[in-house]
Amino acid sequence: MTRLAFLSLITSVALVCGAGGATAQSGLPDTGSGSSNGSSASTPSYPKDDAGRSLILRGFNTASSAKSTPDGMPVFTEADLDREHAAMGTGFVRFLISWRSVEPTPGQYDQQYLDRVEQRVGWYAARGYKVMLDMHQDVYSGAITTAGVSTSNIGGIGNGAPAWATYTDGLPVPPQGQWELYYLDPGVIRAFDNFWNNTGNHPELVEHYANAWRAVAQRFAHNDAVVAYDLMNEPFGGSKQGRAFEAGPLAAMYQRTTAAIRQADHKTWVCVEPQSVGVNQGAPSALTKIDDPRPGGPRIAYCPHLYPITMDLGAGYTGIARVITDASVETWRAGVQYTAGVLGGVPIIIGEFGLDTTLPGARDYIDHVYDTARKIGAGVSYWSSDPGTWGPYLSNGTPTVLVDAVNKPYPRAVAGTPVDWSSTTSQLQLTYRPDRTVGAPTEIYLPRTGFPGDVHVTGAQVVNWDRASRLLTVQSPAGSGTVTLTVTPAA
């Protein structure tokens, strides 16, 4: 997760890296006559499940604690998942994995680690969740310390890459008061430069990374719960930033890794992120289209993060800070839709957004982001499920405002293409174009607070209302065109 003072960071990166291309490019490219390729007005696309239904994904990142545990697992139990599921009706998780755990020694993949991941995926599968596996990194590696590169994969200033793949070339890593500022240290920049082979000295590292993803794909290719692979958390280009990075080594890594995954898995969606610096705050991305060699058409998704600078700095969501934040979110939205178009009109999944839930206006900001996601057809995974003021529960188990904000009616899987949907505490309305080739019903989550008993449905036929799981399934009338269905509590 990134909570940088990015206005100063972008300037600093430009100074450290020297020259043009160090900062994100300014301005969205001209969309010309409104072609859907890159058009911010294009119809949203949705990832599909195995039945062909459009997925509307709502859930959490689980969890930041996985970054530093020796076994690579988050401090999160099956009972914690039961509490989340019952209290908020989530049906999606961005589950953190790490390169250091997948490939602890060069070319050797830890099957016991993948067993542990598979066990946790099973917890989610048993409750009907969809899982996105996220190869997480921050500040490159836990092997980087202020005293040099350690042989340990954890305990340093970052997380992600194994020690054997970490090359700072002896450059210094001075202590920083704020961990994100380690990105500006010469040794950290050099570690990233060696990974991306900006130095010309380590072409093997990206190859190892792609092959590590292939090992993951081999394990989960036939796991129906795993719907997506997030190829790299918040990529950082070292001495290359902006267009030089995103259209260069980042796109090349994504292309190589996608090809490696497709050697083992033709089903699962591949999620690509933009660079984090600037783009998380609303700057446009220069990421270029990734070709997907799978038969039957591409399954690429765009997975940006959202951290407006005002929220990162703890300003809250009131007064002038709210005005600035709203403008930032709107700029971010336009850029995200544009990049999704450049990538081929792909689905959007917001891989991270979050905030200190004790800030003034926190509930309004959370509602605003979820509403923005709804309008652009984006999935959402909130950062994160860890206990604390950023999460749904404090360390003593007290719920934060996040629990009530997330626990809203929403369509989880739609047997067709959503056109629009909206909800209040006690009503959901969904307009969609049914796909008659999809045999599975449309699935809707309804919280107990607004739907304590039976339900009343117009515009569709009820297949089942499971008051224990809170899932309503419906089938659209035969021969109908666009369908609008409404769900309210029964009188």
Interval 387-410: pLDDT, tens: 999 999 999 999 999 999 999 999
User: Which ranges constitute the DSSP H helices of 28-185?
Assistant: 78-88, 99-102, 111-126
Residue 187 shares a structural domain with residue 261: yes
Q: How far apart are CA 414 and CA 44, in angstroms?
A: 14
In the chain, what percentage of residues exceed pLDDT 90?
Answer: 89
Average the pLDDT over each of 8-12, 53-57, 97-101, 390-394 and give the range with the smallest value: 8-12
Q: Return the amino acid letter for 61.
A: N
* 34 occurs within a structural domain: no
Indicate which CATH number applies to the domain containing 240.
3.20.20.80
Q: Is 474 helix (H, G, I), strand (E, B) or coil?
A: strand
* 67 occurs within a structural domain: yes
**pLDDT at residue 2 is higher than 80:** no
Residue 320 shares a structural domain with residue 459: no
Contacts of 119 (CB under 8 A, 6+ apart): none
User: Which ranges constitute the DSSP H helices of 43-159?
Assistant: 78-88, 99-102, 111-126
Eight-class DSSP state of 431: E
Nearest of 383, 444, 359, 454 to residue 408 by alpha carbon: 444
Q: Which two tokens stand for residue 50?
A: 């195995």
- The residue whose two tokens read 């997480």 is 136
Q: Is 94 helix (H, G, I), strand (E, B) or coil?
A: strand
Chain-centre distance for alpha carbon 264 = 22
* 31 occurs within a structural domain: no
User: Which ranges constitute the DSSP H helices of 89-203?
Assistant: 99-102, 111-126, 186-195
User: Which ranges constitute the DSSP H helices of 67-185?
Assistant: 78-88, 99-102, 111-126
Residue 241 shares a structural domain with residue 355: yes
Which contiguous run of DSSP H or E holds residue 326?
helix 319-342
Residue 163 shares a structural domain with residue 250: yes
Kindly tell me the burial class for residue 360, based on how many C-beta atoms sit within 10 Å of its own C-beta (0-12, 13-18, 19 or more): middle
Q: Give the residues across from 61 on adjacent strands.
A: 94
Looking at per-residue pLDDT, the higher value among 42 and 348 belongs to: 348
In the chain, what percentage of residues exceed pLDDT 70?
Answer: 91
**pLDDT at residue 68 is higher than 70:** yes
Residue 396 shares a structural domain with residue 458: no
> Could you report the per-residue pLDDT of 250-275, keeping only the tens digit for each?
999 999 999 999 999 999 999 999 99
Residue 188 shares a structural domain with residue 288: yes
Q: Which two tokens stand for residue 460?
A: 């569709």
Q: How confident is the model at residue 479 (pLDDT cuts 50, 70, 90)?
A: confident
Question: Structure pTM?
Answer: 0.94
Indicate which CATH number applies to the domain containing 437.
2.60.40.1180
Residue 396 shares a structural domain with residue 437: no
Chain-centre distance for alpha carbon 106 = 28
pLDDT value at residue 43: 81
Residue 391 shares a structural domain with residue 440: no
For residues 353-373, average pLDDT: 98
* 415 occurs within a structural domain: no
Q: How far apart are CA 285 and CA 242, in angstroms?
A: 7
Residue 333 shares a structural domain with residue 437: no
Q: How far apart are CA 161 and CA 138, in angstroms?
A: 9
Torsion sign across C-alpha atoms 438, 439, 440, 441: positive
Q: Which two tokens stand for residue 24?
A: 């994100």
* 422 occurs within a structural domain: no
Contacts of 24 (CB under 8 A, 6+ apart): 10, 241, 242, 243, 275, 277, 278, 279, 283, 284, 285, 286
For residues 453-473, average pLDDT: 97
Eight-class DSSP state of 75: S
For residues 314-321, average pLDDT: 96
pLDDT value at residue 380: 98
> Could you report the per-residue pLDDT of 129-182, keeping only the tens digit for each?
999 999 999 999 999 999 999 999 999 999 999 999 999 999 999 999 999 999
Contacts of 356 (CB under 8 A, 6+ apart): 314, 362, 389, 390
pLDDT value at residue 477: 84
Residue 97 shares a structural domain with residue 235: yes
pLDDT value at residue 14: 37
- Domain encompassing residue 84: 6-26+47-407
Using an 8 Å Cβ cutoff, are 436 and 416 in contact? Answer: no
Contacts of 271 (CB under 8 A, 6+ apart): 132, 228, 229, 230, 231, 300, 301, 302, 303, 349, 351
pLDDT value at residue 10: 44
Residue 80 shares a structural domain with residue 17: yes
Q: Which two tokens stand for residue 409?
A: 């009616």
* 33 occurs within a structural domain: no
Q: Which two tokens stand for residue 473?
A: 């399934």
For residues 282-303, average pLDDT: 97
Kindly tell me the burial class for residue 26, based on how many C-beta atoms sit within 10 Å of its own C-beta (0-12, 13-18, 19 or more): exposed
Looking at per-residue pLDDT, the higher value among 89 and 312 belongs to: 89
Nearest of 193, 192, 194, 197 to residue 252 by alpha carbon: 197
pLDDT value at residue 42: 62
**pLDDT at residue 431 is higher than 80:** yes
Contacts of 327 (CB under 8 A, 6+ apart): none
* 42 occurs within a structural domain: no
Task: Report the chain's mean pLDDT, rounded to a whole number.
Answer: 92
Q: Which two tokens stand for residue 392?
A: 């749904």
* 454 occurs within a structural domain: yes
Q: How far apart are CA 243 and CA 133, in angstroms?
A: 27
Contacts of 280 (CB under 8 A, 6+ apart): 2, 6, 234, 304, 305, 306, 307
Dihedral, CA atoms, 278, 210, 184, 386, nearest 10 degrees? 70
pLDDT value at residue 312: 86
**pLDDT at residue 293 is higher than 50:** yes
Number of domains within the chain:
2
**pLDDT at residue 11 is higher than 70:** no
**pLDDT at residue 5 is higher than 50:** no
Q: Which two tokens stand for residue 184?
A: 């500006």
Residue 178 shares a structural domain with residue 327: yes
Cis peptide before 63 (omega within 30 of 0): yes
**pLDDT at residue 346 is higher than 50:** yes
